[in-house]
Chain A
């Protein structure tokens, strides 16, 4: 075989790359498909969101956050840092708050997910939503859905006896003091700095519950 048969000019590479790029941009499948094992096969997953069963067919890379926002159009849950550092994406899964940006949708088969849309509505606010309004627990509002989901889950964690870093006695039941609320909310960043009002809103709800 002549070696020359395999010589590819720089120009032909550029031309073929451009064609591939154009095809990809137009959504036309390429002549050379990905190996079968690596094809972004649509994976099936089902979970309950705000009480309603949802079935998805997803690329495995889709996070729970993107499934909620881009596929169900539940845009109350926010994408802040997308790296688990800011808490804007906080949702409640099987009763516990998590960062929905750090979870693949496929990890949630059969789970029960509650987003801000599932906590209350403009007509019927969740007590925590009403308390945030009363205490001015926000300014721009971008972090607020995550703050409220986190706050609701925090009061439940205190009720269930989940310990915290500021607890003096590990073997005693924690109480919703200001220091406890602030420590437990440290995974939710508020760039407007509404922290003290958020803690007051939470204290209001915690007191009403007692």
Chain B
């Protein structure tokens, strides 16, 4: 691990100032992803601003009937919250489908959104990777790409967003609340939070340098049946090959987002009109522009089948 300096910030704006004011500085929340990447020297921050004292660890009701989730609420605390389990089941389900109990206890809401890809070439510092080292190339495109993106990728990068939580937040139309070094707040719709790789795969999100996530806000509950289905190579503690977050209403209409297929949670609202017609009707348009590799072409039919299972599960409930 490279040497760094360390401080603990007292307020969100102070934390944002500390990171914005020093090139190479980073926020440290739970640390479960960042410290791992620092050990591998994939992340090499020169300064860490520990944000654990910012009192952003509460879940509050909003005036609009939704929930405001503090950036530092742990994944376990969020999935355990009675309101989340009752009204936002897809979110609780997505969280407990990810990582291990130990990691969920330490990982935070904001940190989960900011976790880096698990593309094997991003982790292997002997290999080219445009996300880790811009301009070095992408070893994944012609390499082992079973886990990687089938849609929205570029000729620079085919990495996926690895998380489950963000897929549920996408289907719930969550908003990411931030503050910058000047203390100015900003609200970013979750749809605009993560980026597609394009020519700048080293930039995962639309956060400005030093911009700190303070909360994630959920709109009023949608009702309906909440399902999160994750297909993976083992029954627990593995990243998704394909995952589906869905909220299905009693009349068969609904919303759906996919994980494990793109650099961001994959949702196209226009495709959801076909929900009552069944899974294939939805995925035909959702994955119309898919460009899978030889290794991961199975993900496209798997996405249809997983959605079919989700719709069947929703109808049976």
List A residues at the B interface (Cβ < 8 Å): 34, 37-38, 40-41, 43, 60-61, 63, 82-84, 87, 90, 96-99, 102-104, 106-107, 109, 150, 153-154, 157, 160-165, 167, 170-171, 182-188
The answer on a CB contact under 8 Å between B5 and A162 is no
Within 8 A of A (CB), among B89-114: 89, 92-93, 96-97, 99-103, 105-106
**A157 — which chain B residues lie within 8 A by C-beta?**
76, 101
Q: A107-B52, A165-B96 are in contact. Are A187 and B80 (CB under 8 A)?
A: no
The answer on a CB contact under 8 Å between A37 and B5 is yes
Nearest CB on B from A164, distance (A): 6
Size range of the interface on B? 35 or more
**B96 — which chain A residues lie within 8 A by C-beta?**
163-165, 167
**B5 — which chain A residues lie within 8 A by C-beta?**
37-38, 41, 60
**B101 — which chain A residues lie within 8 A by C-beta?**
97, 150, 153-154, 157, 184-187
The answer on a CB contact under 8 Å between A104 and B31 is yes
What total of A-B pairs shows CB separation below 8 Å?
A: 107
Once bound together, how far apart are the Cα atoms of A61 and B28, in whole Å?
13
Identity of the chain B residue whose Cβ is nearest the Cβ of A82 in the assembled complex: B39
**Does any Cβ of A come within 8 Å of B240's Cβ?**
no
Once bound together, how far apart are the Cα atoms of A98 and B76, in whole Å?
11
**What are 15 contact pairs spanning A and B, CB under 8 A?**
A40-B3, A41-B5, A61-B4, A82-B39, A84-B32, A84-B100, A98-B106, A107-B31, A157-B101, A162-B80, A165-B97, A170-B86, A182-B236, A186-B101, A187-B102
Q: A38-B3, A170-B92, A183-B236 are in contact. Are A99 and B102 (CB under 8 A)?
A: yes
The answer on a CB contact under 8 Å between B31 and A103 is yes
The answer on a CB contact under 8 Å between A161 and B80 is yes
The answer on a CB contact under 8 Å between B6 and A171 is no
Identity of the chain A residue whose Cβ is nearest the Cβ of B106 in the assembled complex: A98
**Does any Cβ of A come within 8 Å of B297's Cβ?**
no
13 more CB-based (< 8 A) A-B contacts, given A34-B3, A187-B103: A38-B5, A38-B46, A96-B76, A98-B102, A98-B105, A99-B102, A150-B101, A157-B76, A162-B76, A170-B85, A170-B89, A170-B92, A182-B236
